[in-house]
Structures are given as C-alpha cells and as structure tokens.
Amino acid sequence: MFLLTVQLHCLICFYHFLSTATFKFSFYVLFVFLISWLSKETFYSFVGIAILSFFMFPGLNNRGIIPSGLNSMAYLLTNDSIYRISTVLFLWNVFAIVFLLYVFFQTRSRFLKRSE
C-alpha cells in the first residue's frame, strides 16, 4: 500500500511538473510574441513579463487566476487541485491563441485594404 501511494505521488508530481511547465512556457512565448507584434518595441515585452512576475509574490495571486507562478511545486503541498491549475493555464493559452488570431486577421485585413 505504501509503495502504491509513493508511486501515485510521483506520478502526480511528474504530471504537475510537465503539464504546467508546458502550458506556462507556451503562454509566455505567446504573450511575448503578441506584445512584440503589437508594439514593435522589445522593452514592452520585458515590462509585460515583469508585471506577470510581480504576481508571483505570495498573496498577490491567491485565487490562481493570473498565469504566473502556477507551476510551483508548492501547490502539491496545499489543497489546490493540480487539475484546476492545469485548466487555468490551458484556458490562458486558448485565450492568447484566439487573441493572436484576431490580431493577425485584423492586420491582414488592414493590409489587404491598403493594397486595393
């Protein structure tokens, strides 16, 4: 029984590490790309990441809605659901992709109207 519990905890740690790290990394890449695409200024990407990093401080992201700091292994020691954390990060990625597609199509339609 003890061995089964240890194996289960190891699988949960492995799932949490891989899924949240993948979702968070992809969100940061999309976030920086989106800011770079909209502003053409690299400093704004740095400011955006700094603002997201600010919410990693304890007490600023209590509800776990902002996608920064959610891949911490400390969440495994609390009562927070790792599946809820993965879902939040996944939804932020979907939101970023939808917004990125919207920006691309707006830019494309503006470009096509200019060329006519």
Report DSSP letters for the chain, one per residue: -HHHHHHHHHHHHHHHHHHHHHHHHHHHHHHHHHHHHHH--HHHHHHHHHHHHHTTSTTSSTTS-SSSSTT-GGGGGSS--HHHHHHHHHHHHHHHHHHHHHHHHHHHHHHHHHH-
pLDDT of 97 > 60? The answer is yes
The 10s digit of each residue's pLDDT in 26-36 is 999 999 999 98
Reported pTM: 0.80
